[in-house]
C-alpha cells in the first residue's frame, strides 16, 4: 500500500512538474513571468475603433489577428465602426463570455466607461489601446498602450513652424470631435503654436472625421474661403493629409506652395514627402501598436503587473531623413 501511494504521489508530482515545465517553456521572453495557463487556452476579446475608416486601423486589426494566430491564443477582433453604442454592446457581450482579458481601442473618451467598469467589476482586466479613456474611467483599466499623441502634436507644430520659418497663416484638419486622440492632437498642437510661435496664426479648423475624402472636401472649402492666405496645413493623421494633397493638386498648386505636416505617416505620405508635398510627420507602426496591446493583455491575464502607460516610438520624419525609414505598408 505504501509503495503504491508513494508511486502514485510520485506520478502526480511528475505530472505537475511536467505541466509546469510545459508552461515555462511556452512562456515567451517578453512575458516577464510564468504562464498560469497555456497560451492556447488564453481568450482575449479585442474591439478596434473603426478598421474600415483608414489604412492604419485596418493594419492594426490585421496585425492583431495575425499575431494572435502566431501566438496560438484565442482572440476575436471586432469592428464597432466608430459607434460608441455598438462598442459598448460589444464590451458587454465580451463580459458575458468571461474572457481572460479585453482590449479596447475606444470610440469615445467617456461613453464606454460604464461598460469598462462592468468588466473590471467582473474581474476581467481591460487594456485600452491607442486612444486613452477619459480620466474618470482610468481606475477601471489595468493599463494603456499606444503612441504619445500630445508629443506628436507638439512635434508637428515644430515641424510646421520650421517649414514656415516661424511665420504664416495655417488651417487645421481635425479628427473626430470628442475622441481622445483628436483632443490631444488638437489642443497640444494649438498650445505649442500659441506658446512658441507667435508669428503663426490659425485661420480655421474643421473636422474630417479621420476620412481622406472628407479631408479633401474640407481643404477645398478652405482654399475657396481663404485662397492664397493659406501658408500651411496641419492634418491630424496622414490619411487626411493625403486628402489635403489631393485638394492642393486639384487647385493647380505645386509641391511646396503650401506646407503640410501630419501625425502618423502612411505609405503614400512617405511617397508624397519625397515628391515635396509633405514637410513633416511621425513614424507610427500599427503593427507595433497591436502587438504591444496583445502582449500587455496576456501579461495581465497571467497575473503579471504592467505599467499604467506603455508607449510605442514615434520618431519625426522630415524630407531630410525620410529615406532612413522604411516605406510604411499601410
Assign a CATH topology to domain 40-147+286-313: Rossmann fold (3.40.50)
pLDDT digits (tens, 9 = 90+) for 118-172: 999 999 999 999 999 999 999 999 999 999 999 999 999 999 999 999 999 999 9
Percent of the chain residues topping a pLDDT of 70: 92
Report the Cα 263 to chain-centroid distance in Å.
12
189 vs 173: CA distance, rounded Å: 12
269 vs 275: CA distance, rounded Å: 10
The CA angle 90-94-96, to the nearest 5 degrees, is 120
> Shortest CA distance to 67 belongs to which of 46, 92, 98, 90?
46
Report the Cα 69 to chain-centroid distance in Å.
20
pLDDT digits (tens, 9 = 90+) for 38-77: 999 999 999 999 998 888 999 999 999 999 999 999 999 9
- CATH 3.40.50.2300 range(s) for the chain read 40-147+286-313, 149-283
CATH homologous superfamily for the domain 149-283: Response regulator (3.40.50.2300)
* Lookup result for grid cell 481635425: 174
- Taking the model in full, what pTM does it have? 0.86
Say if residues 235 and 264 touch (Cβ distance below 8 Å).
no
Phi first, then psi: what are they for 168, rounded to 5°? 145, 175
List all residues 6 or more positions away from 312 whose beta carbon is below 8 Å from its beta carbon: 145, 146, 147, 284, 285, 288, 289, 292
Average pLDDT of the residues in 10-32: 56
Amino acid at each position: 500500500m505504501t509503495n503504491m501511494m508513494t508511486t502514485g504521489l510520485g506520478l502526480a508530482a511528475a505530472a505537475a512538474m511536467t505541466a509546469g515545465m510545459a508552461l515555462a517553456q511556452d512562456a515567451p521572453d517578453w512575458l516577464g513571468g510564468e504562464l498560469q495557463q497555456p497560451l492556447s487556452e488564453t481568450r482575449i476579446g479585442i474591439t478596434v475603433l473603426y478598421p474600415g475608416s483608414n489604412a492604419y486601423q485596418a493594419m492594426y486589426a490585421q496585425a492583431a489577428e495575425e499575431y494572435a494566430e502566431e501566438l496560438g491564443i484565442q482572440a476575436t477582433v471586432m469592428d464597432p465602426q466608430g459607434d460608441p453604442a455598438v462598442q459598448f454592446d460589444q464590451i458587454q457581450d465580451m463580459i458575458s463570455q468571461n474572457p481572460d482579458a479585453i482590449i479596447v481601442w475606444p470610440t469615445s473618451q467617456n461613453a464606454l466607461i460604464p461598460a469598462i467598469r462592468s468588466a473590471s467589476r467582473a474581474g476581467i482586466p481591460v487594456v485600452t489601446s491607442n486612444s486613452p479613456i477619459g480620466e474618470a474611467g482610468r481606475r477601471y483599466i489595468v493599463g494603456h498602450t499606444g503612441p504619445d499623441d500630445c508629443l506628436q502634436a507638439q512635434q508637428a507644430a515644430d515641424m510646421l513652424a520650421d517649414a514656415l520659418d516661424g511665420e504664416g497663416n495655417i488651417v487645421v484638419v481635425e479628427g473626430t470631435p470628442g475622441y481622445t486622440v483628436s483632443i490631444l492632437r488638437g489642443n497640444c498642437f494649438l498650445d505649442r503654436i500659441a506658446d512658441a510661435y507667435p508669428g503663426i496664426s490659425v485661420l480655421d479648423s474643421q473636422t474630417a472625421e479621420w476620412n481622406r475624402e472628407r479631408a479633401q472636401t474640407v481643404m477645398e472649402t478652405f482654399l475657396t474661403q481663404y485662397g492664397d492666405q493659406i501658408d500651411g496645413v496641419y492634418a491630424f493623421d496622414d490619411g487626411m493629409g493625403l486628402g489635403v494633397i489631393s485638394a492642393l493638386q486639384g487647385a493647380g498648386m505645386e509641391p511646396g506652395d503650401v506646407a503640410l505636416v501630419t501625425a502618423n505617416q502612411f505609405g503614400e505620405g512617405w511617397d508624397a514627402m519625397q515628391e515635396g508635398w509633405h514637410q513633416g510627420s511621425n513614424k507610427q507602426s500599427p503593427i507595433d501598436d497591436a502587438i504591444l496591446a496583445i502582449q500587455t493583455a496576456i501579461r495581465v491575464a497571467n497575473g503579471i503587473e504592467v505599467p499604467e502607460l506603455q508607449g510605442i516610438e514615434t520618431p519625426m520624419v522630415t524630407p531630410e531623413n525620410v529615406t532612413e525609414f522604411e516605406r510604411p505598408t499601410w
